[in-house]
């Protein structure tokens, strides 16, 4: 096999080398233990390269394979995944340039299996798997942790080039926005591009959130020099995370960056906005931390109003040094006021009483 491949490649203008996973390597019912292609195939690649370095590899595989160790040795790479009966003709159309390469990666191709976020949890122990990575799967892990990858989520090349310009974002409600941008084919032939929209929280969140998340995409096909406008509507869910505290989706108030890109790591336009949030808040108590009191609009106003009255009477509430201010924010109202003696008890009682009254009035 190796000798035949080398003989065919010697003196050829270009080499098409078809690699992939054999039938026994992946299937339903059992898990793969490696991302590597069979070593025999890599040996063939190295042998062919010695006589002809102008190699284009076409992959056939049902799930990701590692390419990091050999991708720099080839001129081109076409990931075809598992194609159907028309796959041969479709592959030829793309390779000959009769059609544009329009596919985009629906998953990240990591540098190695060890970079996968599930490595610390899989295959688990004693028959149980703990999905400990939470929401940090795929690009949410790689991008948030700045892990080098072979190819990022959403990646894909075209036989032409594109530009995104004139991005505009209009906040249309408490938790909604409209995004518009102009997309132009800046190359010399007709082609397509997939514009991907990511939302990136830019405020201190109550939950661990990925650095950005894909919320929408639009595929455009344009002639050379042609432009079109893409438009996206973002709603409450696009700014939300699942809150165990609320047992519901929760859109926090604060700043968010809206990103348009050609992959999760190729952001070509971005701008920041602020939204009011969905207004959800949890009832506060004397066991709520001062940070929670200060983050709640009603709780903050009530607490600061009572503090102003006490400080006007000469009672110091807020610590003056930085270390104690950090401690102050993390401690419950009950603990903070207990250090103040009788004055603290009165402050706690008045804060809780006014908060109850204001909260009830707001509910009514």
CB-count burial class (<10 Å; 0-12, 13-18, 19+) for 140: buried
CA distance 270 to 164: 10
- Does this model's pTM top 0.85? My answer is yes
- Collapsing DSSP to helix, strand or coil, 257 comes out as strand
Q: Give the CA-trace dihedral at 344, 347, 348, 351, to 10 degrees.
A: -160
Q: For residue range 139-157, what is the model confidence (pLDDT) as tens digits?
A: 999 999 999 999 999 999 9
Do the Cβ atoms of 209 and 241 come closer than 8 Å?
yes
Interval 302-341: pLDDT, tens:
888 887 887 776 766 665 656 666 777 788 988 878 877 7
Q: What is the pLDDT of residue 276?
A: 95
SS3 336: helix
Cα distances from 312 to residues 315, 321, 334, 342, 348, in angstroms, run: 7, 20, 22, 17, 17
In angstroms, the Cα distances linking 64 to 36, 85, 249, 338 are 9, 21, 32, 58
Contact 264, 139 (CB under 8 A): yes
- Order across the sheet with 76-79: list the strands: 15-20, 55-60, 76-79
Q: What is the DSSP pairing of strand 176-185 with strand 162-173?
A: antiparallel
What is the rounded CA–CA span in Å between residue 218 and residue 250? 26
Give the number of other Cβ atoms within 10 Å of residue 95's Cβ.
Answer: 15
Angle at the Cα of 24 from the Cα atoms of 23 and 27, rounded to 5 degrees: 80
Q: What pLDDT is stored for residue 346 in this prediction?
A: 86
Query: pLDDT tens string for the chain (364 positions)?
Result: 788 988 899 989 999 999 999 988 998 888 888 999 999 999 999 999 999 999 999 999 999 999 999 999 999 999 999 998 999 999 999 999 999 999 999 999 999 999 999 988 888 888 888 888 999 999 999 999 999 999 999 999 999 999 999 999 999 999 999 999 999 999 999 999 999 999 999 998 989 999 999 999 999 999 999 999 999 999 999 999 999 988 999 999 999 999 999 999 999 999 999 999 998 888 898 899 988 888 888 888 988 888 788 777 676 666 565 666 677 778 898 887 887 777 878 888 988 999 888 888 766 5
pLDDT value of residue 173: 96
Residues in the chain: 364
Quote the pLDDT of residue 323: 63
């Amino acid at each position: 096999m190796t000798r035949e491949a080398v003989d065919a490649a010697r003196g050829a203008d270009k080499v098409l080398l078809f690699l992939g996973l054999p039938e026994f390597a992946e299937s339903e019912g059992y898990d793969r233990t490696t991302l590597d292609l069979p070593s025999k195939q890599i040996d063939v690649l190295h042998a062919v390269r010695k006589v002809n370095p102008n190699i284009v590899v076409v992959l056939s595989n049902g799930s990701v394979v590692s390419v990091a160790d050999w991708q720099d040795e080839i001129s081109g790479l076409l990931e075809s995944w598992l194609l159907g009966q028309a796959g041969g003709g479709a592959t030829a159309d793309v390779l000959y340039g009769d059609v544009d390469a329009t596919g985009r990666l629906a998953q990240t191709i990591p540098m190695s299996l060890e970079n996968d976020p599930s490595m610390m949890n899989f295959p688990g122990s004693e028959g149980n798997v703990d999905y400990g990575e939470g929401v940090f799967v795929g690009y949410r892990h790689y991008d948030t942790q700045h892990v080098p990858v072979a190819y990022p989520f959403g990646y894909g090349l075209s036989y032409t080039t594109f530009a995104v310009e004139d991005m505009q974002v209009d906040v249309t409600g408490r938790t909604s926005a409209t995004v518009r941008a102009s997309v132009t084919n800046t190359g010399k032939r007709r082609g397509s591009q997939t514009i991907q929209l990511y939302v990136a929280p830019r405020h201190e969140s109550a939950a661990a959130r990925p650095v950005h998340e894909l919320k929408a995409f639009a595929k455009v096909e344009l002639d050379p020099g042609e432009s079109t406008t893409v438009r996206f509507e973002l709603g409450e869910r696009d700014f939300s995370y699942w809150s165990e505290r609320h047992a519901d989706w929760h859109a926090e108030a604060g700043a968010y960056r809206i990103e348009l890109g050609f992959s999760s790591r190729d952001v070509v336009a971005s701008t920041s906005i602020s939204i009011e949030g969905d207004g959800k808040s949890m009832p506060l108590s004397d066991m709520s931390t001062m940070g929670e009191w200060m983050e709640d609009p009603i709780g903050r106003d009530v607490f600061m109003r009572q503090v102003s009255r006490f400080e006007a009477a000469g009672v110091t509430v807020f610590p003056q040094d930085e270390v104690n201010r950090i401690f102050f924010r993390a401690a419950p109202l009950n603990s903070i006021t207990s250090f103040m003696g009788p004055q603290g008890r009165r402050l706690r009682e008045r804060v809780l009483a006014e908060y109850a009254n204001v909260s009830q009035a707001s509910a009514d």
